[in-house]
Structure 1
Amino acid sequence: MSDVNDPFSPRAHKGRGAASNPEGRFETVRRQAEDDGWQSALLDDAASRPRTEVTEERARSVITRNDSPDIHFSQAMNPYRGCEHGCIYCFARPSHSYLNLSPGLDFETRLRAKGNLAEVLRSELAKPGYRVEPINIGSNTDPYQPIEKRWRLTRAALELLAACGHPCTIVTKNALVERDLDLLAPMAEANLVQVFVSVNSLDNHLAAKLEPRASAPHRRIRAIRALAGAGVPVGVLVAPIIPALNDRDMEAVLEQAADAGASCAGYTVVRLPYELKTLFREWLALHAPDRAAHVMSLVQQMNGGRDYDSDFRTRMRGQGVFADLLRRRFEVACRKHGFGRARDLRLDTTRFVPPRPSSPQGQLF
């Protein structure tokens, strides 16, 4: 529980999800802040409104490969490290520890942008042995998070993929995806793209605390409508479902998404790996203290008595009575609205023409 008299204790920050900035699991040094009584006012002002800092990095590769049996794509690409959306439940938060940064506030304020993304992607697609399979954009962090407005790295990647006829899927919770309809609509016509919009609640007040800088739920539903209206295959992901917090909205989300034109649906339950366990418990203590114990009790029921179970067979959907109830509710709602499965659409891999590799000498033909 936060101590209001301690300027260094976990506290809610306007527009941010995390309440603290704990060291990552690979850090060898632990820091303990102490208040000497002189700097409290300055600390309160600076700590309450942490600013977003973006550092450009030069990537050596941008396509990652995946062989996890519970993930339905084999290639992925993430233009950014960290995510300004600040979703407190984000399973990607612990990945910031590899940068010697905190999975807490650092994850949503100290971001990395892969400035040479399009250049490296072109090089990788042009390799003689490259095997064409759909690339998922946004598997770890959101490709349309707010900083995309300025950096336009996702846009640059889509331009290249469209030019060489390469299929891709996109996962986002930001209506900024509408900006790229001029690229997505022609790609959809050629069966080269599918977009998934994540909507896990219709409660604006809850969303403002859970995922403070993502588009509001009703705005995401409008984005689904815009995508579907432009002929882009679009699905809804009710993800993650947090028991006793947002699970009540599952059927309503699916109903509104179906009305907006979504053709398929998927869901996952909340996952709390590594440092995320502590950050999520802090969030519950600050924003839902009356139900924190109940939420965590149900989370543990779905994870074999622990905060998180990494077993591939159960980590996405959970296990036990409550997980079975969620599954049945989801299946009934999907049948009611005629949803297909998120992986039913088969994108076209036959149109791909490798891009010419970059050369300082240019091309004669």
Structure 2
Amino acid sequence: MPRLRPGPGTSLGEPARGRHAAAVVTVLATLGFLAFGWLLVLVGATQGTLARELGVGLEETGGLAAAVSLGLGVGVVLAGPAVDRWPRRPLFVAATATVALALQGAALAEGVFVLGLALALAGLGAGVFETVVNTVVPESFPGHAERRLALVHTGATVGAVTAPPLIVALSGSGGSAAAFRTASLLFGATALLGSLVRLLPPASGAPAAAPSRAPRLLALLPLLVATAAYVGFETALTAFAPALGVARGVEPERAVAGISALWMGLLVGRLLFLLWRGRVGPAWLLAQGVIALLVFAALSRTAIGLETGLGLLGIVLGSTFPILMALTARAFPERAGTAVGLVAGAGALGGVLVPWCAGALGGRLGPAALAAVLGLCCAGLASAGYAELRRRG
């Protein structure tokens, strides 16, 4: 007899537990994303400390940020089919435990190369974790997946907002190793909690392969581009916010506050999105890309302050990633994990290429070249949103 799945929005664990089980897993996922937020800002927030310890410059900073994104990309792509076939709880626990161990390794690294390897492994584990959550939530709340994902993803924004000042304080007393070990403890606690919670199982009876559905991958192309542009922009801006501040004459310690301003804006944007009760679709992506481009242009020309500009960008883009994940899960409801993995993998590819290109060009040609790369990401998001809007008629 096939295993029955609980109804949408009523359970993420055993059917008898209903809404209570859904609430428990929502809390677990949100706490996991809190730790994920720390990982996302680690490179940028430790940039000054790593510069003193390892001689890290703009190009090396871009490479370290790219290492995290590369690991994320591999993780989400590998995890997609696994999430569609295997029990989700072991995947969740193994993924978060891998991040915890990798960050302990980063704390012991004595060179940029070894540090990059450790961060790439941490990214891989985080990619698997992210795919599990981004698949389970839309499956369980199909009627309002965007808002439920936005709620869960607020954990990442809270983590990214609170982490930079704490990381600066930790690095001041214990070096960058103290920051990496603290992030490791957060993921270790998430793994322990995850071992106690049951997650929604994969759909029973799903075919091992579905070649007849392969052409529908073309329908994901605009979402692939949009996610690559968004994640690339967010990753690079997080990594280089301190450098942008220093280029404007801001003290390095104060420039780190730009990271918190960006992620505080993302948090506010996601909370405002939770209040929205209208329809959500690709038109949002088009509007967000255009507005972000205008704000970033004003920021680059110093028409607005660093923290103000970064905060506004966060507000504008706060709901972008949850919208992308929800639209993707709906495109392949029978293979949601695979689809989410593909699109999130494209995002991770953007997270590798954009910081790397921006850091390389910025290190050779100056901050203006770095800003040009980021501006292209905003234009890419808007263009992909327009293409998806046209595709849907």
TM-score norm. by structure 2 comes to 0.29
Higher relative contact order (CA 8 A, sep 6+): 2
Looking at secondary structure, tell me which structure has more helix per residue. Answer: 2
Looking at secondary structure, tell me which structure has more strand per residue. Answer: 1
TM-score norm. by structure 1 comes to 0.30
